[in-house]
Structure 1
Amino acid sequence: MAEHQDDSLYPIAVLIDELRNEDVQLRLNSIKKLSTIALALGVERTRSELILFLTDTIYDEDEVLLALAEQLGQFTPLVGGPEYVHCLLPPLESLATVEETVVRDKAVDSLRTIAAQHSPSDLENHFVPLVKRLSGGDWFTSRTSACGLFAVAYPRVSSSVKAELRQHFRNLCSDDTPMVRRAAAGKLGEFAKAVEMEYLKSDLIPLFINLASDEQDSVRLLAVEACVSIASLLGHEDIEALILPTLRLATEDKSWRVRYMVADKFTELQKAVGPDITKAELVPAFQSLLKDCEAEVRAASAHKIKEFCQNLNADCREQVIMTYILPCVKELVSDGNQHVKSALASVIMGLSPILGKENTIEHLLPLFLTQLKDECPEVRLNIISNLDCVNEVIGIKQLSQSLLPAIVELAEDTKWRVRLAIIEYMPLLAGQLGVEFFDEKLNSLCMTWLVDHVFAIRDAATKNLQKLVEKFGTEWAQQTVIPKVIQMSRDANYLHRMTCLFCINLLAQECGPDATIKLMLPTILTMSNDGVANVRFNVAKSLQKLGKGLDSATVNSQIKPCLDKLKTDSDIDVAHFAYEAIDALKLS
């Protein structure tokens, strides 16, 4: 009997030993095995022994505590289901008070998950007391954690308990510690959605107004997020009376971080307050943010221009844009900060479909052309990457002559990442500019990239050719691309000869077996005699890829003899890849 009892305690004994081990990784692994241990113990012993042990053992490395907090959120079935879920609260409560923020946040996430699994009576008897204890904790860590739990508990408790929860939340919003007020401000919008309308107006909006005027800018900026949630719950008159005065102050806040948050959330605010208030109040506010003295605020606002204009009421959209927004846009095009110009360039093309052909040609086109000549590569790239918006409205011809110098400059930029970005946009450009313009102006650029000194560029250039063939067709490839690629097989630089093989691998997929056999296979077979082993083993790899798409007669008469020769190569890698190709093509 004693033996059996000792044996039944084995999982806990092992866990204790592992959690006391000096090796953090071992302790972490043991925590990740908790569900397996719980299954071995069964639900009763998990509740009475394992959970109790874990509650008393929370004094570990942050990494281990984080894993524990995550595991416990998935433990409900292992303790016997929702009826017993409250037994998971003690270890999670302890984890919600630790110093490390990520551990506390994960513990709160798990508490929020298991809150939904509590019955209303268990919520009141077990979960709400936990929220109250955390709310009144001596350390700010527990009080910050409490802020995230109100919204999940509130909807399913009695009126008297709801009143208590509102009082506790009120206390947290006026806490002496800024970190607690910050946490409360961050969760105010979520709590507002859970609270009844009468208490939203009587209890929470005064809290919102206080937090939005807090001495700490880190608290005020989080109140802006709450503003979006609260405004979406209120009617037109209530927004005007209760929210707008605070929103106006936030737009002109002395801290740029608060104004940045307003700019970042501006289109969400726009949707929350509705079209009438947008026209009367938010348009002037948006103008102010677009002209802000801080570049970060201007950049955040510039990012929102297209979406803000799209969300305007159709009956006043054009008039508002032309009168109030476009003058600001014209100033931003020549802004002194490259991040502002880049942000604008990423959205300005989107104004074209909104304003139509005439306004685009008269007012926007000069701005596009200015940005295409900007000294900052990102600005030029952002314009080029959004050309499809303008193409739909006025056609690309209006821009093509100005596009060319910008594209060439980007294609030859000293920074390889800039060159890479323009390569990725080339198929889009090709489709919009048409095959004649492309062949005349851009084809040679695409071939130049194939011999770039950076491998990433050469690799992207081969994929670019494949996409261009998809767009312009096999006949174009046979006349324009394949002859130039084959020419690379004779290049003095072995890296360029290898690029030739990589191109053929991709072009063969697009051009089909006839063109492959007639134009490309002979080149590969010739390259099997190359003096560089790297080229020869890439020949073997290419033959393996091509062989899968060719008829058996060609494979047996042309590919097999070449692979048979390569498998006897003096270089071990060449022989290896030749054997691999023979096996893949079932030629042995």
Structure 2
Amino acid sequence: MADAPSANDELYPIAVLIDELKHDDVLLRLNAIHRLSTIALALGPERTREELIPFLDGQTAPYAPPPGQNLTPLAESVEDEDEVLVALSEELGSFIEYVGGPQYGHVLLSPLENLAAIEEPAVRDKAVESLNKICQDLSSQQIEEYFIPLTIRLSKADWFTSKVSGCGLYTAPYKKISPQVQESLRTQFGLLVHDETPMVRRQSATNLSKFIKEMTAPVVIEEMIPLFQHLAQDDQDSVRLLTVEILIAIAEVVPKDQQSSHSVLLTSLRSLIEDKSWRVRYMIADRFEKIAKAVDDETVSRDLIPAFVKLLKDNEAEVRTAIAGQIPGFCSLVDRDTLLKDIMSSVEDLVSDPSQHVRAALGTQISGLAPILGKQETIDHLLPMFLQMLKDEFPE
């Protein structure tokens, strides 16, 4: 009769995996990270919480491996291997079942908080993604006790890398917390919007459009429009270009019949359309149909139709290419007479645009105007354009 397996036999594969986690070979370490669930299953939920997670967190763990094995914090062995840390960040995002279910999900936050503060963006991004994934399974009490303090710590850290990660952790918990905590989160996010570091302001702008979608219209009007206005006036065009999505998010939340009373929105829209940076104008051009659908009809006729024509004539080919891609979508939102009278001549001019990329963008979109114009106008306006494009020196 075979002897019953000893405790050492049961722990042997765990010891091998732990050795691999500390190995010089990156591929072995990567392989070990992807097999962390094997360790967790062997240890069981309680020991995973009490021993494996602290080990991954870089703390001194109480786990006593077989003789000859020396357990050291993972952070020491993979300190500079971004590839391994990305894999670890991803694995931890799916680790709730191995620590005993959602009621223990908060124990995973500490190692991910450390990973979210690392210099390499790929590691931080994956850590933030996993933190948000775990947040979906946490209770309101867990979020307020563990997740929100983590978010605030990252947001108040000395290094911009932590603040950048913090910016991405406001949306997921927002609807699961009390109004008082929501208010404190909005206040803290406002500090990130006003941060002195452009990288933090960029990330706050990237996430503000998502954050706004979780809020009620009165909160957006009272608190978020001023934040948008601040970012829209930023001296860095890399920040200003991100405010186009924020403008769309605000316009989608604020009812159209109330938009005209918030003149700062229209003022900011006009400023972005006229921005001196072509990259900002490009973002406006690339999102033009979305903007038009989000604002009221008066803004479309008074501001967006002249802006559309102006962008079709922009000095930068990249801007003209982007706006050419919006032709059918935007033109379907205006009446046919306005299209023929105010827009069509500028569209026709693009057929002979000096940039082949602009002409190519026009070529892929122009057929979408036919249903809007109708049979006769298609023959009068579009057919000559098709014939001219067929003779283009660039066949593509």
Deviates more, 1:213-222 or 1:278-287: 278-287
Match of 1:229 among 234, 249, 254: 249
Structure 1 residue 195 displacement after superposition: 2.3
Alpha carbons 1:209, 1:246 under 8 Å: kept? yes
Structure 1 residue 243 displacement after superposition: 1.4
Following the alignment from structure 2 to structure 1, what is the Cα–Cα distance between the partners of residues 254 and 243?
16
Deviates more, 1:85-94 or 1:318-327: 318-327
Q: Show the counterpart of 1:381.
A: none
| Structure 1 pair 353–196 and aligned structure 2 pair: CA distance change class (3 A) | closer
Residues 32-75 of structure 1: per-residue CA shift (max 9 Å, x gap): 01112211111111111111111102324111111111111111
Letter of the 1:277 counterpart: T
Q: How many residues align?
A: 372
Q: Does 1:80 align with 2:82?
A: no
Letter of the 1:143 counterpart: K
Q: Show the counterpart of 1:151.
A: 171
Structure 1 residue 264 displacement after superposition: 0.6
Alpha carbons 1:236, 1:273 under 8 Å: kept? yes
Q: Show the counterpart of 1:302.
A: 324
Following the alignment from structure 1 to structure 2, what is the Cα–Cα distance between the partners of residues 270 and 50?
53
Residues 205-231 of structure 1: per-residue CA shift (max 9 Å, x gap): 100001011011010001111111111
Match of 1:188 among 208, 221, 232: 208
Q: Show the counterpart of 1:481.
A: none
Residues 528-568 of structure 1: per-residue CA shift (max 9 Å, x gap): xxxxxxxxxxxxxxxxxxxxxxxxxxxxxxxxxxxxxxxxx
Q: Does 1:360 align with 2:382?
A: no
Letter of the 2:41 counterpart: L
Q: How do 1:538-553 and structure 2 match up within 5 A? A: none
Structure 1 residue 310 displacement after superposition: 2.0
Alpha carbons 1:189, 1:229 under 8 Å: kept? yes
Letter of the 2:26 counterpart: V
Letter of the 1:355 counterpart: L
Match of 1:212 among 200, 224, 232: 232
Q: How do 1:167-178 and structure 2 match up within 5 A? A: 167-178=187-198
Match of 1:49 among 41, 48, 51: 51
Letter of the 2:279 counterpart: R
Following the alignment from structure 2 to structure 1, what is the Cα–Cα distance between the partners of residues 157 and 258?
36
| Structure 1 pair 136–10 and aligned structure 2 pair: CA distance change class (3 A) | farther
Q: Show the counterpart of 1:103.
A: 123
Following the alignment from structure 2 to structure 1, what is the Cα–Cα distance between the partners of residues 223 and 371?
45
Following the alignment from structure 1 to structure 2, what is the Cα–Cα distance between the partners of residues 6 and 158?
49
* SS at structure 2 position matched to 1:21: coil
Alpha carbons 1:120, 1:157 under 8 Å: kept? yes
Q: Does 1:281 align with 2:299?
A: no
Q: Does 1:348 align with 2:366?
A: yes
Following the alignment from structure 1 to structure 2, what is the Cα–Cα distance between the partners of residues 6 and 131?
41
* SS at structure 2 position matched to 1:214: coil
Alpha carbons 1:147, 1:184 under 8 Å: kept? yes
Letter of the 2:389 counterpart: Q
**Greater helix share, 1 or 2?**
1
| Structure 1 pair 250–120 and aligned structure 2 pair: CA distance change class (3 A) | same
Q: Show the counterpart of 1:375.
A: 393
Q: Show the counterpart of 1:514.
A: none
Following the alignment from structure 2 to structure 1, what is the Cα–Cα distance between the partners of residues 98 and 141?
21
Alpha carbons 1:24, 1:64 under 8 Å: kept? yes
Letter of the 1:365 counterpart: L
Q: Does 1:255 align with 2:277?
A: yes
Following the alignment from structure 2 to structure 1, what is the Cα–Cα distance between the partners of residues 258 and 168?
27
Following the alignment from structure 2 to structure 1, what is the Cα–Cα distance between the partners of residues 6 and 114?
33
Q: Does 1:272 align with 2:290?
A: no
* SS at structure 2 position matched to 1:97: coil
Q: Show the counterpart of 2:63.
A: none
Alpha carbons 2:216, 2:253 under 8 Å: kept? no
| Structure 1 pair 8–136 and aligned structure 2 pair: CA distance change class (3 A) | farther
Alpha carbons 1:12, 1:50 under 8 Å: kept? no
Structure 1 residue 12 displacement after superposition: 4.3
Structure 1 residue 15 displacement after superposition: 2.9
Alpha carbons 1:21, 1:27 under 8 Å: kept? yes
Following the alignment from structure 2 to structure 1, what is the Cα–Cα distance between the partners of residues 266 and 16?
61
Following the alignment from structure 2 to structure 1, what is the Cα–Cα distance between the partners of residues 227 and 352?
42
Alpha carbons 2:257, 2:296 under 8 Å: kept? no
Following the alignment from structure 2 to structure 1, what is the Cα–Cα distance between the partners of residues 12 and 309?
69
* SS at structure 1 position matched to 2:338: helix
Alpha carbons 2:273, 2:281 under 8 Å: kept? yes
| Structure 1 pair 88–11 and aligned structure 2 pair: CA distance change class (3 A) | farther
| Structure 1 pair 238–52 and aligned structure 2 pair: CA distance change class (3 A) | same
Following the alignment from structure 2 to structure 1, what is the Cα–Cα distance between the partners of residues 14 and 199?
38
Following the alignment from structure 1 to structure 2, what is the Cα–Cα distance between the partners of residues 239 and 340?
33
Alpha carbons 2:135, 2:172 under 8 Å: kept? yes
* SS at structure 1 position matched to 2:289: helix
Following the alignment from structure 1 to structure 2, what is the Cα–Cα distance between the partners of residues 163 and 309?
41
TM-score (norm 2): 0.91
Residues 451-497 of structure 1: per-residue CA shift (max 9 Å, x gap): xxxxxxxxxxxxxxxxxxxxxxxxxxxxxxxxxxxxxxxxxxxxxxx
Structure 1 residue 193 displacement after superposition: 1.4
Following the alignment from structure 1 to structure 2, what is the Cα–Cα distance between the partners of residues 7 and 86?
31
TM-score (norm 1): 0.62
Structure 2 gaps, min length 5 = 59-73
Structure 1 residue 11 displacement after superposition: 4.6
Higher relative contact order (CA 8 A, sep 6+): 2
RMSD: 1.4
Structure 1 residue 286 displacement after superposition: 0.9
Q: Does 1:335 align with 2:353?
A: yes
Structure 1 residue 238 displacement after superposition: 3.6
Structure 1 residue 202 displacement after superposition: 1.6
Letter of the 2:383 counterpart: L
Match of 1:63 among 80, 83, 101: 83
Q: Show the counterpart of 1:499.
A: none
Structure 1 residue 9 displacement after superposition: 4.3
Match of 2:152 among 126, 132, 136: 132
Alpha carbons 1:11, 1:41 under 8 Å: kept? no
Following the alignment from structure 1 to structure 2, what is the Cα–Cα distance between the partners of residues 196 and 11?
53
Following the alignment from structure 2 to structure 1, what is the Cα–Cα distance between the partners of residues 105 and 98?
9
Alpha carbons 2:259, 2:296 under 8 Å: kept? no
Structure 1 residue 6 displacement after superposition: 4.0
Structure 1 gaps, min length 5 = 379-588
Letter of the 1:25 counterpart: L
Percent identity between the aligned chains? 53
Match of 2:161 among 130, 141, 148: 141
Q: Show the counterpart of 1:30.
A: 32
Structure 1 residue 275 displacement after superposition: 3.3
Following the alignment from structure 1 to structure 2, what is the Cα–Cα distance between the partners of residues 145 and 10?
37
Match of 1:202 among 201, 217, 222: 222
* SS at structure 1 position matched to 2:57: helix
